[in-house]
Homo-oligomer: A and B are copies of this chain.
């Protein structure tokens, strides 16, 4: 491998992917070069296309290739509901449930002071403008139930509370299909408090 400069470069570049260390990067590079050069070229083209075409929707911040994404433009959706999520992956999980027909605001992250992510980095100002545009009646906080996600939801709800909007949070409780014996105690306690 000593004199394969471009192989070394490839391994270094693959290491920039999240969750990929030097061993995985080596394995990926060897696999592509040995068994799937077409895949390597396809991936190269996909990377270039995505890096040049994908941008953020001006209304909801999700990834899109248009100025405003199809979800925001859809007249069939309930524009009075605004669901705040952390990432496009979370948005996509909610969409797949088929249980929500309102709009989204994608934070593209979460408040994380330790990593230097403050309210300005998340575009919270834009969220507040959007929430107060007179059309939105309810803001559904669907950030993750982690420490940072909860803190993000708290900051947003504190800021919006005074403006007469209905503020809701995804229900916490026992996951579907689970047995109480194996559910953690914090979840059971929440499910008890929020019983209906």
Contact A9 B50 (CB under 8 A): yes
Residue of B nearest to A91 (CB): B1
Known: A30-B87, A44-B44. A10 touches B69 (CB 8 A): no
How would you classify the secondary structure of chain A's contact residues: helix, strand, loop or mixed? helix
- A170: min CB distance to chain B, Å: 20
Given A6-B46, A46-B6, the answer on whether A13 and B39 have CB atoms closer than 8 Å is: yes
Q: Closest 6 interchain pairs by CB?
A: A44-B47, A13-B46, A13-B43, A3-B70, A10-B50, A6-B49
Check A89/B30 contact, CB under 8 A, given A7-B63, A19-B24, A65-B6.
Answer: yes
A45 to B16, CA, bound (A): 14
A28 within 8 A of B: yes
For residues 1 through 58 of chain A, which have their beta carbon under 8 Å from a beta carbon of chain B? 1-7, 9-10, 12-14, 16-20, 24, 26-34, 36-37, 39-51, 53-54
A137 close to B (CB within 8 Å)? no
A39 close to B27 (CB less than 8 A): no
**A1 & B92 in contact (Cβ 8 Å cutoff):** yes
